[in-house]
Amino acid sequence: MPTTDTDLLEAFAPLREVEPTPDEIARVLAAADELRSPRSLARPRRRPARAVAVVAATAALVGALAALPGGDDPSRPQDAHGILQAAAAVAAEQPAPAAYRYTRAVNRFVDQVQAGGERGRVTYQQTSENWTSDAFQGRTVAGQGTATWDAAPSAALRKVQSLLGAIVKPYDGNYRYGDGPLARVPFSAIPADAAAAGQLLEAAIRDGRWMPERNAHPHWAPGVVESEVARSAVLLLAMGNLDGRQRQALFGVLSSRPGARSLGEVTDAVGRKGVGVALRLPDFGDELRVIIDPETSDILQSSEVMGPPPASPPKLPAGVRKPPWPPPAWLAERTQVFLSTGSVAALGDRP
């Protein structure tokens, strides 16, 4: 934003009883230019009192200019907790949802593939439209996606990859949610209190309600439950058909995660500005990076980069068949970019 003479006069006003004239302002700016000139890089020498006064006046001017509109906004939260609490306050003011949450998203997965001593990297990308009602009941429509290798793969690598390619096939049917439908945790059960919402997510993950099989009783490795709470809260914020107070509570869940850090102002994969936070995932020591629209509290993008699998296979209960190790393929990265979101009355409607 350009600074006018009026701006300078107003900015100087608190610094002295008599407002500076335009000629005085010009002299201070000229003195500042003189101090920045190559001659100022010569060997230091004793400065007379007049030079000290010019430097002081220049410092006052710089401070005044920094306070003018268009500088950094000190009221904008800078740490992760502040960013998430600000998003929670915006979410709380949102109107009640209609029958369905609509999202149009680009889904990107990167697999590391190996066969014998060979390794390759393949990226899958697909755009989908989703309509979700209570407990993620609804519909997904997706066209044919793409699979792109970083380098031309061998026949052996392609054979391994052929077992994975179904992820980008065209689809039109019931809403697809990764590992399970969450049907045993209705959205109405998610509390409007952050602590209670976090307790519900953790309990549902631990006892198997968040699993595809009704009778599953998982034995989670250290750190997995804590990481799944963060992932689940982000998923619900992005795609769950929730009211404003529930969204406020879920942002509160995220703000309580240990190790969360601010990414500041960031740009998502399609060029939109937002604020970012990185949530620590203790299961694999990775981060879930989330970009939020500060004006609406919508999730613009979430991404996670995973490390390679451990050198040793996990310990499995007696009687469970050991998988090949290292695995022939593992997920190295996943990203969702939410191009459009909103609340709609019926399946097929768009905001």
Residue 268 has pLDDT above 90, yes or no: yes
- 323 in the same domain as 236: yes
Structural domain contains residue 312? yes
Domain boundary at 44, 66, 88, which? 66
Predicted confidence (pLDDT) per residue in 18-48, tens digit? 444 555 555 544 544 444 433 333 333 333 3
Query: Comparing C-alpha atoms, which of 329, 269, 287 is closest to residue 147?
Result: 329
- 294 in the same domain as 201: yes
Mean pLDDT, the chain, whole residue set: 78
- 215 in the same domain as 130: yes
Structural domain contains residue 36? yes
pLDDT band at 13 (very low <50, low <70, confident <90, very high): very low
The string over 219-228, giving b where at least 16 C-beta atoms fall within 10 Å of a residue's C-beta and e elsewhere, is eeeeebbbbb
Structural domain contains residue 350? no
- 156 in the same domain as 103: yes
pLDDT of res. 52:
34
pLDDT band at 130 (very low <50, low <70, confident <90, very high): very high
Structural domain contains residue 274? yes
- 38 in the same domain as 177: no
pLDDT of res. 318:
78
Q: Do 344 and 99 form a contact (C-beta atoms < 8 A)?
A: yes
- 204 in the same domain as 117: yes
Domain boundary at 41, 66, 91, which? 66
Per-residue pLDDT, averaged over 275-280, amounts to 96
Structural domain contains residue 158? yes
Per-residue pLDDT, averaged over 224-246, amounts to 92
> 27 or 14: whose pLDDT is higher?
27
Domain boundary at 16, 43, 66, which? 66
The total domain count for the chain is: 2
- 187 in the same domain as 121: yes
- 34 in the same domain as 150: no
pLDDT of res. 206:
83
Per-residue pLDDT, averaged over 253-275, amounts to 95
Least confidently predicted of 108-122, 161-175, 290-304: 161-175
- 158 in the same domain as 31: no
Least confidently predicted of 69-78, 80-89, 108-117, 299-308: 69-78
Query: Comparing C-alpha atoms, which of 293, 298, 306 is closest to residue 335?
Result: 306
pLDDT of res. 244:
97
- 135 in the same domain as 59: no
Residue 69 has pLDDT above 50, yes or no: no
Predicted confidence (pLDDT) per residue in 171-222, tens digit? 999 886 544 445 578 888 999 999 999 999 998 888 777 665 555 556 677 7
Per-residue pLDDT, averaged over 302-326, amounts to 81
Structural domain contains residue 351? no
Structural domain contains residue 26? yes
- 22 in the same domain as 97: no
pLDDT of res. 286:
85
Residue 157's domain comprises 80-344
Structural domain contains residue 73? no
pLDDT of res. 210:
65
Q: Do 287 and 280 form a contact (C-beta atoms < 8 A)?
A: yes
pLDDT band at 310 (very low <50, low <70, confident <90, very high): confident
Residue 291 has pLDDT above 60, yes or no: yes
Residue 297 has pLDDT above 90, yes or no: yes
Q: Do 84 and 254 form a contact (C-beta atoms < 8 A)?
A: yes
> 120 or 312: whose pLDDT is higher?
120
Chain centre to alpha carbon of residue 242: 19
- 159 in the same domain as 56: no
> 150 or 78: whose pLDDT is higher?
150
Per-residue pLDDT, averaged over 7-12, amounts to 38
- pTM over the 0.85 mark: no
